[in-house]
Amino acid sequence: MEVNFAEAPGVSPATTLLDFIRSIPGHTGTKEGCGMGDCGACTVVLADVTDGEALNYRTVNACLILLPMVHGKQVITIENLAQRISGELRLHPVQELLVGHHAIQCGYCTPGVTMSMFGIFKDRATANPEEIGLALSGNLCRCTGYEKIREAAMQIGGMADDDQFVASRPEIVTRLKAIAEDTSTLVIRNGKGFYLKPFLLREALDLKNQHPGAILLSGATDLTLKHTDREKRDLTYLDLGAVKELQTISTGDDHFRIGAAVTIEQLRLFSKVNLPPLFRILNRFGSQQIRNVATLAGNIGSASPIGDTLPLLIACGASVTVASSVAVRSVSLEDFITGYHQTQIGQDEIITGTRIPKPEPGHVFQSYKISRRNQVDISTVSAGFRLFITDGIVTSVILAYGGMDKIPRRARHAEAALTGKNWTRETVELAMKALSNDFSPYSDTRAGAAYRMSVARNLLLKFFLEYSPDKTDHLISDQDHG
């Protein structure tokens, strides 16, 4: 199917969902605060069809969603919650909760808070204290304060899922299924630019071969900050988010395979049981709105020196699967990232998945993230460690760090200082000193070089204290001490 946006003045494939919503008369409740996914004022809910007749609801930041990304999805904004019945305005149950708990003041952040609570209301699995905290962490509120909002959200678990969206569900499912029946690539033209949205992997690979300069989208929560409608009108985008073959997590005898279109939130829930150290780091990956869109492949492909998942994945021995229209190859993550925001991926290739080896018996994995804020913040220093001890001797160890160089990488000198030695504080302190041979940290707005080195050393000491010799009975791969 093909759409020509050139016939729609002021709209291009790079138009954000937020800008489009606010251009609709009577739809200014969704606010633009930071424009970077930090404040949650632009939160809306997307619904798509899962297996059967159910709808999956997820909160997103409208400022980080390009308009074509919502093809085949229902978009719910704050204006859709309250209803006017026989001339009388009737609030949605979530809105009644907020009013009843005196959790509303200004109208700037409140719409986003309300939509996050609506997301909890539609997904009862998240209506527990821990998940509620995570679901609301991406919403600022300078007026009311969080206590009243949290008190209101805590009541959702005891409520019935009974609202106008339940009544309209069969109609919405039918309409969305009808859209999904057309699996031909969505092509949107605007001047010299294209937005290409394939639904089949073979078509995605052919399109990358035809458009080697196309910008790959796999979540786009980072890229959207740089590619706005005002700045980038003639670029070609290849959106992999709807490719069915890339949307699954599979389990092999000795590994897990994460498809390139699997969201961070899906991976977070999967890793809670299967990879607890990864679950720990993903709990602090952006906000719920960002995790519902971002992907592991996007985090890897951006090759950021402070990518939250990368140090742990390096420690795990993860590899990246890349494919072209003629070949498939696997590259270790450690080798895949070649420089600052640079990777081995060829112009005719896309990332199709990530292979994470299952933890071996007796191996310890741990992850750490240091940032100014606990939630919704970029890491200053991150680390992923793997350790195997035999009779008190370090048989093998991997110490991977992010935020210490232009790329996330291993601390080889510190590893050498530990390997073959007794697992003691004295040995660990020598390894801490050896870190100065591995890294020459940089200074930026988040932290100075000396601070980064101090943190890197202290994280290694923290790791030792958590797994010190008197705790050797706990050196098993599936335990998460934090």
Q: How high is the pLDDT of residue 189?
A: 81
* pLDDT tens digit sequence for 48-102: 998 778 999 999 999 999 999 999 999 999 999 999 988 899 999 999 999 999 9
Q: Which amino acid is at 189?
A: R
How confident is residue 326, by pLDDT bands cut at 50, 70 and 90? Answer: very high
Q: How confident is the model at residue 197 (pLDDT cuts 50, 70, 90)?
A: very high
Tell me the CATH class for 2-11+181-239.
Answer: alpha beta
Domain ranges of the chain: 2-11+181-239, 17-176, 247-357, 364-474
At 219, which amino acid appears? Answer: G
Q: What's the pLDDT score for residue 7?
A: 54
Residues 243/198, Cβ–Cβ less than 8 Å: yes
Q: Can 247-357 and 364-474 be said to share one CATH topology? A: no
Cβ count within 10 A of residue 63 = 28
Is the pLDDT reported for residue 8 higher than 90?
Answer: no
User: Which whole number is the average pLDDT over 330-345?
Assistant: 96
Quick one: what percent of the chain has pLDDT higher than 90?
77
Classified by CATH at the fold level, domain 17-176 comes out as DNA polymerase; domain 1 (1.10.150)
Answer yes or no: are the C-beta atoms of 342 and 301 closer than 8 Å: no
- Tens-place pLDDT, residues 464-481: 999 988 765 444 433 443
Residue count of the chain: 482
- Determine the Cα–Cα distance for residues 141 and 129; give it in Å rounded to an integer: 19
| 177 contact partners, CB below 8 Å, separation of at least 6 | 49
In the chain, the percentage of residues whose pLDDT exceeds 70 is 93
Q: What pLDDT, in 10s, does the model give residues 290-324? A: 999 999 999 999 999 999 999 999 999 999 999 99
- Pick one of 3.30.390.50, 3.40.50.150, 3.40.50.300, 3.40.1160.10 as the CATH number of 364-474: 3.30.390.50
What average pLDDT is seen over the chain?
91
Query: Do residues 362 and 256 lie in contact, with contact meaning Cβ atoms separated by under 8 Å?
Result: no
Instruction: Answer for the pair 240, 350: CB distance below 8 angstroms, yes or no.
Output: yes
Q: With the C-alpha atoms ordered 380, 402, 442, 301, is the resulting torsion angle positive or negative?
A: negative
Q: How far is CA 138 from CA 39, 57, 356, 408, in A?
A: 6, 17, 28, 26
The pTM score is 0.92
* Pairing mode, strands 193-197 and 236-239: parallel
* Distance (Å, whole) CA 420 – CA 397: 10
Distances (CA, A) of 402 to 14, 78, 94, 482: 31, 38, 40, 19
What are 197's strand-pairing partners?
186
Q: Which two tokens stand for residue 398?
A: 């991997």
* pLDDT at residue 471 in the model: 63
> What is the fold of 247-357?
3.30.465
Say if residue 340's pLDDT is above 60. yes
pLDDT of residue 385: 98
Residue 366 pLDDT greater than 70, yes or no: yes
Token digits of residue 128: 């527990």
With beta carbons less than 8 A apart as the criterion, state whether 161 and 124 touch: yes
CA distance 432 to 291: 33
pLDDT tens per residue across span 400-449: 999 999 999 999 999 999 999 999 999 999 999 999 999 999 999 889 99
Q: Say what the pLDDT of residue 332 is.
A: 98
- Residue 410 makes CB contacts below 8 A (sequence gap 6+) with 314, 334, 398, 399, 400, 401, 438
CA quadruple 357, 358, 362, 365: dihedral positive or negative? positive
pLDDT of residue 145: 75
**Phi then psi dihedrals of residue 383, to 5 deg:** -150, 150
Distance, CA of 351 to CA of 329 (rounded, Å): 10
What is the mean pLDDT of the segment spanning 328-350?
96
**What string of H, E and C letters represents the secondary structure of 173-195?**
HHHHHHHHCCCCCEEEEECCEEE
In angstroms, the Cα distances linking 410 to 31, 42, 335, 382, 407 are 42, 38, 11, 12, 10
165 has pLDDT over 70: yes
**Residue at token pair 């390096």:** 314
Contact 30, 22 (CB under 8 A): yes
The per-residue pLDDT for 1 is 61
